[in-house]
Amino acid sequence: MPDATESAVTEPPSLGDAVEERSILLGLCYRLLGSLSDAEDAVQDTYIRWYRLEDSAREDVRSPRAWLITTASRICFDLLGSARVRRELYVGEWLPEPIPDPSAWTSSSSQASIDPADRVSMDESVSMALLVVLESMTPAERVAFVLHDVFRFTFAEVAEIVGRSPVACRQLASSARKRIRDSRQIAVPSEEHAAVVRSFKNAWSEGDIGGLIKLLDPNVTAVTDGGGLVSAALEPLYGPEEVARFFIGAFGRQPGLHIEEQVVNGEAGLVATSEGKIVAVISVNVSSGMVDHIWAVRNPEKLAAWE
């Protein structure tokens, strides 16, 4: 059996399509943790545990994929508890780590025979809006919702992971769904979303504060995450004028800032670069043709996947 060092660079040989398995696990852990770097660590820990099984125990596993998903979920469930403590000490607002187009961070390429697990790694609906809502849930709610509603685990199976009864897990998933409904994030057609993002980019790049204000919902909220490492608003910004002036001011303070449209968490978003270096990745939520939420991640530790 390989030692832990070897397992850190080698995928389990008995898992069939190990590359695809890793993509599935990475998508699961990212959705549970909201951090691609933490997700990669959780996946690596999952593989190490697989290798540490006795040969006879590994042979008794009827479904390696189910074993991996279950183990990864338990690891993430434990991590979510400690993550809450770390985020209470975080400087400023904490946002999930944004991800580029799925092809850049997973190895999935075939759309054939997609089961619920495959959708997590290949589906482009892992929006920042959903991740922010997931972040507001308790660890048990988050795990119950993702495993049951996305992976189609039974509540009995979820119960074994979170240490609750099946009835309690049903209630957890129901509570999670209510949080999502109450967030009132109504999806718009991708073409409409992209058109609004393009208009936002043009107005911002041109310093057109009036045009920017017209694109912002009267109740717009903007959250920026610098992690105490770079400049960012320490608290959310509210209202069209405050939000517009912040973005116009940021553009003026950074000469040579270039804004381009890119896929961010499966939707049209914006990436800001300065002197060839990515300095911000921005997600927006569009409702009724206007931007009502903006999430700008500036923490360089959360932009590694974009470099």
Q: Which amino acid is at 145?
A: F
pTM score: 0.84
What is the model's pLDDT at position 183? 80
Instruction: Tell me the two tokens of residue 74.
Output: 């338990």
Each of the 307 residues of the chain gets a pLDDT tens digit; together they read: 444 434 343 444 455 555 678 888 998 999 999 999 999 999 999 999 998 999 888 888 888 888 999 999 999 999 998 887 788 889 999 999 999 876 555 544 443 344 444 444 445 458 899 899 999 999 999 999 999 988 889 999 999 999 999 999 999 999 999 998 888 666 788 899 999 999 999 999 999 999 999 999 999 999 999 999 999 999 999 999 999 999 999 988 887 899 999 999 989 999 999 988 999 999 999 998 999 999 999 999 999 989 8
- Count of CB atoms within 10 A of residue 202's CB? 14
CATH label, 13-107+118-181, candidates 1.10.10.10, 1.10.3720.10, 1.20.140.160, 3.40.50.300? 1.20.140.160
- Count of CB atoms within 10 A of residue 49's CB? 16
| Gap between the Cα atoms of 194 and 161, Å rounded | 39
What is the model's pLDDT at position 13? 44
| Gap between the Cα atoms of 297 and 134, Å rounded | 17
The answer to whether 65 touches 20, Cβ cutoff 8 Å, is: no
Q: Which CATH class is domain 188-300?
A: alpha beta
Q: What is the DSSP letter of 306?
A: G
* Strand partners of residue 15: none
Query: Which residues of the chain does CATH 1.20.140.160 include?
Result: 13-107+118-181
How far does the chain reach from its first CA to its final CA, in angstroms?
A: 36
DSSP, residue by residue, 29-91: HHHHHS-HHHHHHHHHHHHHHHHHS-HHHHHT-S-HHHHHHHHHHHHHHHHHHHHHHHHHTSS
| Gap between the Cα atoms of 164 and 252, Å rounded | 53
The answer to whether 298 touches 226, Cβ cutoff 8 Å, is: yes
Order of all β-strands in the sheet with 290-297: 237-238, 216-225, 290-297, 277-287, 267-274, 258-264
The answer to whether 38 touches 79, Cβ cutoff 8 Å, is: yes
Query: Which residues of the chain does CATH 3.10.450.50 include?
Result: 188-300
| Gap between the Cα atoms of 238 and 247, Å rounded | 13
